[in-house]
Chains A and B, each alone.
Chain A
Amino acid sequence: MNLRKYLKVYKKFLHTSLASELEYKTNILVDLITAILSLIGSIFLLSIFFQNNGYIGGWKFEQALIIQGIYTILNGITNTWFNPNLTEIVKHIREGTLDFVLIKPIDSQFFISLKKINPSGFLEIMLGFLLLFFCIRINQINLNLSFMTLSLITISCSICILYSLWFFISTTTIWFVKTWNATEVLRSFLYIGRFPLNSFSFSLRIFFSIFIPIAFITTIPSEVFLGLSQFWKILLEVIVASVFLITSRKFWLFALKFYTSASS
């Protein structure tokens, strides 16, 4: 019953935000070109790294492309859902319109995390999948059921971690008001998710596995693709993802206690 209500609400969200985004059709075209150029750019950068070396951090070029593909999919998801919604939180808090969200008979986290959608991100997701299929072919990965389930599990865990990171930072707005550029800091850190974790020095590797678990986001799913991943790593990712999801939820509820509205 409850789930059905949320599905119905989500359908409305989709409808309204798609309608408003499709107002700017040329914009979507420009965004498509941007996504394509961005992918070409990162592959170009990767090819510079590999032009005189066969391996980087133990990864071949064809294998590193898998990371690139997963990164592109996750970046597309970020651009479609996380970025437009979570930057909106800042606006809600600064202008005091969060009041209207809180009095609605619906979960506030659901509302602010899924209200908007940016359709141009879909194209990026599709590009990422195309690259992944290409990688599956050139790496001669055979698709079987266990591979499919494991990659699905790890990628959805990555999405959960990514979402929680974005949501954490956006939640801090309740105290600091103007932190929309804190998400920009997160963005620049996420950038290293384009490269295999092993290509970084030991200290950075530790930093990006413990403090900001970017390591989990792209490297573990790619290892699953190559059949290199140990079982404990996948289990660890599942645990990390659930811990992140639960704490970000708790943190939001905690932060709401400090919300003091503005200009209303």
Chain B
Amino acid sequence: MISNLINSKIFTLLKVQYSNMLEYRVEIALWAISGIIPFFMLNIWTNNNLNESINISDVMLSRYFLCAFFVRQFSVVWVVFSFEEDSLLGKVSPYLIQPLNPFFRYFAQHLAEQITRFPFALIIAFFFFIFNPESIWIPNLSLLLLSIVSTFLSFLIQFLIQSIVACLCFWTEKASSIERLLFIPTLFLSGLLAPVVSFPAYVKSWIYLTPFPYLIDFPANLLSGNETNISGGLSMQILWIFILFPLFKKIWSEGTKKYTAMGS
């Protein structure tokens, strides 16, 4: 009964947000295009034969960067920016009265955006294959499913981290600058610009203890068929979710007590 109720709630939220997102198709297409940095990086790697030193062939590297593009497309999170705006304009107040954590709303928003984004990402991949026909491959079904799961887990980790940062809005008005700060290590260490295997040893020794390589590098390696420790990666992802979720709940309950209903 209760689970039924939650299901219908989530379903309705998703439906509303999906039709909302469809309104802004061009905008989402532009977001999708703005994610093509991995392809520029691939160009540098292969054009200068940098991949020889890390023992990844041209084809595998191009698959890696294509997968990194895909994983990034489906794990983009902007909850801080939405929440900051809503909280500055006082829009959070009505949400707080409702018997539903407002973050479910943002969560549905993100999922709906991903569904809308999917065709655009496919079009970009199609163009990628036109330019690099030799890198076409069909991932086997179990790996595909696993990588979808791990991409979703990566999305969850980023969503939780950003939600925690978003909750800082209760104390300071501009939490988005903290998010921009956190984005820098995410950008350079997640494997979006260079695969983690290529990192120097002094970074590799500690990087696997941080959440960063599990955000893009791990799911992308999984999807592209590059070598990776599947069970280790998945369990680290789950471990990080178990660490971050209680933290989020704690900061949320503390924060709502601090809430001052700005702008209303």
Q: Which residues of A are in contact with B by a Cβ distance under 8 Å?
A: 24, 26-27, 30-31, 33-34, 37-38, 41-42, 44-45, 47-49, 51-53, 56-57, 176, 178-179, 181-182, 184-185, 187-188, 191-192, 195, 199-201, 204
* CB pairs A–B below 8 angstroms (12 shown): A41-B184, A45-B193, A48-B194, A51-B53, A52-B52, A53-B48, A56-B44, A178-B24, A184-B31, A188-B36, A199-B47, A204-B40
Return the contact of A53 from the options B50, B172, B200 (Cβ within 8 A). Answer: B50
In the docked arrangement, what's the CA distance between A45 and B27, Å?
30
In the docked arrangement, what's the CA distance between A56 and B177, Å?
34
- Chain B residues with CB under 8 A of A191: 37, 40
The main secondary structure of chain B at its interface with chain A is helix
Return the contact of B185 from the options A24, A37, A49, A192 (Cβ within 8 A). Answer: A37
Shortest Cβ-Cβ A-B pairs, 5 listed: A52-B53, A41-B188, A37-B184, A184-B34, A188-B34
- Chain A residues with CB under 8 A of B187: 41
B199 near A: Cβ within 8 Å? yes
Return the contact of A49 from the options B30, B48, B173, B180 (Cβ within 8 A). Answer: B48
| Chain A min CB distance to B200 (Å) | 6
| Chain A min CB distance to B219 (Å) | 21
| Chain A min CB distance to B124 (Å) | 12
In the docked arrangement, what's the CA distance between A181 and B81, Å?
14
Are the C-beta atoms of B47 and A188 separated by less than 8 Å? no
- Chain A residues with CB under 8 A of B193: 45
- Chain A residues with CB under 8 A of B198: 48
Given A48-B199, A52-B53: A26 and B44 interface contact (C-beta under 8 Å): no
Given A48-B200, A52-B50: A187 and B44 interface contact (C-beta under 8 Å): no
* B182-221 to A contact mask, C-beta < 8 Å, 1/0: 0011011000011000111001000000000000000000
| Chain B min CB distance to A38 (Å) | 5
| Chain B min CB distance to A66 (Å) | 17
In the docked arrangement, what's the CA distance between A58 and B103, Å?
50
In the docked arrangement, what's the CA distance between A214 and B174, Å?
32
Are the C-beta atoms of B31 and A188 separated by less than 8 Å? no
In the docked arrangement, what's the CA distance between A181 and B24, Å?
11
| Chain A min CB distance to B76 (Å) | 11
